[in-house]
Chain A
Amino acid sequence: MLIEASVSSLLDLLISPHMVLLLVVGVMIGLFFGIMPGLGGKLGIVFLIPFTFGMDPLFGAVFLLAMHSVVHTSGAIPSILFGIPGTGPDAATIVDGYPMAQNGEAGRALGATLAASGVGGVIGAVFLSLLLPFASPLVLAFSPAEFFLLAVLGITFIASLSGDNLLKGLVVGLFGLMISCVRLDPMSGEQRYTYDQLFLWDGIDAVTAVIAIFAIPELIGLATRQEVNAEKLASTVKYTFAEVWEGCLDVGRHWALTFRTSIIGAVIGLIPGLGGDVASWMCYGHAVQSSKTPERFGKGAVEGVIAPETANNSKEGGSLLPTLYFGIPGSSGMAILLGALVTLGVQPGPQMATLGLNFVWTLVWTLAIANILAVFILLACAPWFSKLASIRSELLVPFVVVLSMLGCYLAANAWQNFIVLLVLGLIGFLLKKHDWPRPPFVVGIVLGPVAEGSLHKAMAIWGYAFLLRPLSLVMLALILGTIALNIVRLLRRSSRHAHS
């Protein structure tokens, strides 16, 4: 059944000109968002959501995933050429990529990046496809009790992503859950925090909330960021195709490292809350540790480019599994993709293991094809793409504001969403300003209705005894373990600070 679903999904994808077109356009847009420092895949999804309204859910999902999965491929270009990461996880590429460019090896570094990203993305997709048969029985064993605790676990995991700020992460996750309560009560139909406003009866629109919490603070940051020197760009961007090809061959020469870091990246992606930064830095560390000449790292070692880039792309494969099957995003980018899927009418969860198998396989193929496509597009257009990074942010800001507002309006056809955008946008700005993690908010607002429904069902069936079910106890142990681990880590760090 799995093989049949896999093959039919691939055929459906390839023989549909509409879907192929969306995949290609999604890849192109993803490459653009990756190369623009300050934009990135999360904002890319947020801005593309309005364009998916009215689309078939599968088509919309292919479009958004294709865009999101290749962001890190092009995000390495500004990292290598002028030491500015296009996206957060690309920061690890700077350590060796930028020195390579300074040593006149920009082309080789770019080639290694492209090939490593492509291979990493494909291995991530293969990893995901190999896990699917094992994931289905597991997810179907979950009852409402476990789903409620899974929502709490998701928020705890994502909150733990924020390192020192576990408490802040939990508060933001709870804030997302709280905002999801603004609607008619699903059990009694009673108004909750809606103040007779019709547009709030179905709840605060998730797209508007995500745009407000993520896009508005980023916009403010974008309008005030430092610009890249255009002359510096022009002088470093010169390289030949032979140099780029040499970089591609480097990935083959270090095939064992490429394979290992791809698998590490995919496994990290599988663990909700760890995210791309952890994957790329962990794999960079692995490359240094496993090298016979670790002293070359930081001075322009090509392995230092290959390791984080494979991990960046392969982790998307791993993180798609908890996102689709459990509704728990594997990374902050997946958290926003999860919100976008809900907007498209796709409800991630256990039903995906049975009813949505074709959907899942189409996304697996999208992930693989998009990564391969991105490599060829970038190989052909790398110099042209790198010039895009020099577009001044002042020119982008007004268009991005208009796009954000368009997204808010089209999400619910209500101009009142602009007020929600402003209020939540200011809260988002404060959160960003004072280093409060924002991804838990998305998990909270997306999982809120699921958590509430599951809690009511679990209480109706088992009462408070739902907490004592075997799987519930496992969940509780995981939640408490995550919190305890963070506290121990914090205490160790503070005692180390006190000693030093």
Chain B
Amino acid sequence: MRIPERSITSGIMLLVFLFFLAQALFFGPLARTMPLLISVVGAVFCLVQFVIDLKKKSKEVDRQPIFSCDEAKTTAWIVGFILGISLLGFVYGAPLLVAIYLYFYAGERPLTVVLAALACVAFTYGFMDHLMEIQLYEGLLFENLR
């Protein structure tokens, strides 16, 4: 049996609520009141929605993939940004990743890429770090090297 794509969201939400519900059972009486109340109601609602989504399959065939090709690529880039900045921090990681994204993914001209990277340096290092004196994240790599 092929599960329609639309029911994946309700299925995931159902699992999330069941997970929270299972965990809440082990909390103390005061701590579990609210989580139990929410997770039980949420799980029931999700189950109903899941059944509705499953039933819709017989009426309309849902062949739309969860991620289209472009969406999958953009999501991969966002994950790359998160990993990159986690490792290299904002001051070094952000301009580098902006440049890589614009050059390799967006296919921008080298001049645009350099200008965008410089704008990013001006924003993170110049504006945030120096002008606003906000302590920016240095990155796991540089924190461990220190």
Contacts and interface: CB of A to CB of B under 8 A. Distances in A.
A192 B17 CA distance: 14
A250 to B, nearest CB: 41
Contacts of B124: 402, 406
Contacts of A429: 71, 75
Interface in A94-115: none
Contact of A398 (B9, B42, B71, B81): B81
B28 A425 contact: no
B25 interface: no
A343 to B, nearest CB: 15
A425 B105 CA distance: 21
Contact of B101 (A171, A181, A193, A397): A397
Given A219-B78, A410-B134, A430-B9, A167 B45 contact: yes
B66 A430 contact: yes
Contact of B35 (A192, A402, A451): A192
A456 interface: yes
B30 A224 contact: no
Interface stretch (A26-34, A67-75, A316-324, A415-423): A415-423
Contact of A422 (B20, B79, B116): B79
A399 B38 contact: no
B32 to A, nearest CB: 8
Interface string B105-133: 11010001000100110011000100000
A167 B48 contact: yes
A395 B103 CA distance: 11
Given A421-B82, A425-B78, A436-B9, A398 B98 contact: yes
A391 to B, nearest CB: 12
Contact of A418 (B39, B85, B136): B85
Contacts of B1: none
B54 interface: no
Interface in B37-53: 37-39, 41-42, 45-46, 48-49, 52
Contacts of A427: 12, 16
A181 B37 CA distance: 11
B134 A53 contact: yes
Interface in B42-81: 42, 45-46, 48-49, 52, 66, 68, 70-71, 74-75, 77-79, 81
B45 A395 contact: no
A313 to B, nearest CB: 31
Contacts of B120: 398-399, 402
Per DSSP, chain A at the interface is helix
A395 B102 contact: yes
Contact of A397 (B74, B123, B136): B74
Nearest to B100: A398
Interface string A405-448: 11001100101001001100111011101101000000000001
Nearest to B117: A398
B140 to A, nearest CB: 7
Given A422-B82, A433-B66, A171 B38 contact: no
Contacts of B94: 402
A53 B94 CA distance: 20
A185 interface: yes
Which range contains the number of A residues in contact with the other chain? Answer: 35 or more
Contact of A175 (B13, B28, B37): B13
Contact of B31 (A188, A223, A436): A188
A203 B10 CA distance: 25
A178 B20 contact: yes
A395 B27 contact: no
Interface string A385-409: 0000000001101110110011001
Contacts of B34: 177, 181, 448, 451-452, 455
Contacts of A433: 9, 66
Contacts of A415: 86, 137, 140
Given A190-B28, A395-B108, A402-B81, A174 B75 contact: no
Interface string A175-188: 10110010001011
B116 A398 contact: yes
A167 B48 CA distance: 9
Contacts of B135: 413
B35 A178 contact: yes
B45 A174 contact: yes
A175 B85 CA distance: 28
Nearest to A435: B6
Contact of A178 (B42, B98, B123): B42
Nearest to A181: B35
Nearest to A409: B137
Nearest to B72: A220
B132 to A, nearest CB: 8
Nearest to A432: B9
Contacts of A190: 27-28, 30-31
A168 interface: yes
Given A171-B45, A174-B38, A178-B35, A398 B8 contact: no
A394 B30 contact: no
Contacts of A399: 98, 116, 119-120
A192 B81 contact: no
A219 B74 contact: yes
Interface in A180-207: 181, 185, 187-188, 190, 192-193
28 contacts: A53-B134, A174-B42, A175-B16, A177-B38, A178-B35, A181-B20, A181-B35, A187-B30, A188-B28, A190-B31, A192-B31, A220-B71, A220-B74, A394-B106, A394-B108, A395-B102, A395-B106, A398-B81, A398-B101, A398-B116, A401-B78, A401-B81, A402-B98, A405-B85, A409-B90, A425-B78, A427-B16, A448-B34
4 interchain residue pairs of minimum CB distance: A394-B106, A185-B31, A174-B42, A223-B74
